[in-house]
Structure 1
Amino acid sequence: MTKVRMAADMSRADEDDLWRSGDVSLRPGFLIRRLHQIHTGLFLESCGEENITPVMYSVLSCLSQNGPLDQTTLAKAVAIDKTNMTDILKRLMNRGYVIREVADTDRRMRLTTLTAAGKAVLERTDPFARDAHRRTLDALSPQDRVRFTEMMMTIVAAAENDAV
């Protein structure tokens, strides 16, 4: 029996036995981390020339879709903490991909805006990022890709609701 079939056939008691067995390769956390590694590798391989990380790509995409945002809203939108967002924004500013300006409506707030160079790198990177996403899910049928994405969204939404 394959590991996939074993995992699919597990009852709660079987899950407990599996946990005690020590085969970490069947544990959800291990598989999630491993899939993240695989996707990140595919993304960096595809987008390597631009020297853009998946998180940087997410920030640029979010700004492209939503327009100027303050750091807190942007961090929440791409699901990273404000400290890491500060570092990412510094790197993106150093490359000329974003600028930060004082908001007209609230002088205490600084808004991050995508520059022309940021838009250009996003346009160049988009096809490669899409390819990395496709390659990540290539082993699944089109229907399973949709279902898998829906299941991930359900898990994330439940975890975010629990955190509130």
Structure 2
Amino acid sequence: MPALDLSTHPGHLARRLQQAHTLLWHTVVSEDVTSPQFAVLNALVGEGGMDQRSVGERVGLDRSTVAEVIRRLADRGLLDKVRDPKDGRRSVLHTTDEGRRVHRRLAPRTARMNQIFLGPLDAGEQATFLELLRRVADAVEGLRGGERG
């Protein structure tokens, strides 16, 4: 069997894209705060008081990953976990003052990184590319729906 043309395999291209994103993230945005950590901070800056499950759903992280991200952010003093007074089994999450400062510092850097990342595409291609990525990601997440929780 001859070698496959991996340039036609979406998983191979997605891996290459992820490598490029990781390199840009560490170079332009932060070596200390990861992209998933920023996504959680961003969700909580937008709407504090969510529980861990809701945050995971909002940012597209599975249960174990969001738990680890939240633990690391809490350990660094960027968010607080507080028992829900209405439901003791549930904790609600809020960014700390330091978490909001980190978010304010990194948000413009993420915008710059996105400009670089999408730079090879014109404005129309960028919109189409993002829409197609969202559609594929949403479809795949729908397949594993029972896994998140």
Work out which of the residue numbers 116, 129, 134 in structure 2 matches 1:135: 116
In the alignment, what sits opposite 1:117? Answer: 98
Correspondence 1:64 to 2:64: no
How many residue pairs were aligned?
Answer: 145
Correspondence 1:81 to 2:58: no
- Give 3-state SS (helix, strand or coil) of 1:80's partner: coil
In the alignment, what sits opposite 2:30? Answer: 48
User: Where does structure 1 lack aligned partners over 5 or more consecutive residues?
Assistant: 1-19
Q: TM-score, with normalisation over the residues of structure 1?
A: 0.81
Say whether the 8 Å CA contact 2:52–2:66 is kept in structure 1: yes
RMSD: 1.7
In the alignment, what sits opposite 2:72? Answer: 91
- Give 3-state SS (helix, strand or coil) of 1:112's partner: strand
User: 1 or 2, which has the higher strand percentage?
Assistant: 2
**Percent pairwise identity:** 27
In structure 2, give the amino acid aligned to 1:94.
D
Say whether the 8 Å CA contact 1:39–1:133 is kept in structure 2: no
Say whether the 8 Å CA contact 1:46–1:131 is kept in structure 2: yes
Q: TM-score, with normalisation over the residues of structure 2?
A: 0.89
Correspondence 1:153 to 2:143: no
Runs in 1 of length 4+ with deviation above 6 angstroms?
none
Correspondence 1:101 to 2:77: no
Correspondence 1:35 to 2:17: yes
Task: Give the CA deviation at 1:146.
Answer: 0.4
Larger radius of gyration: 1
Instruction: Using CA pairs under 8 Å that are at least 6 residues apart, name the structure with larger relative contact order, 1 or 2.
Output: 2
- Give 3-state SS (helix, strand or coil) of 1:22's partner: coil
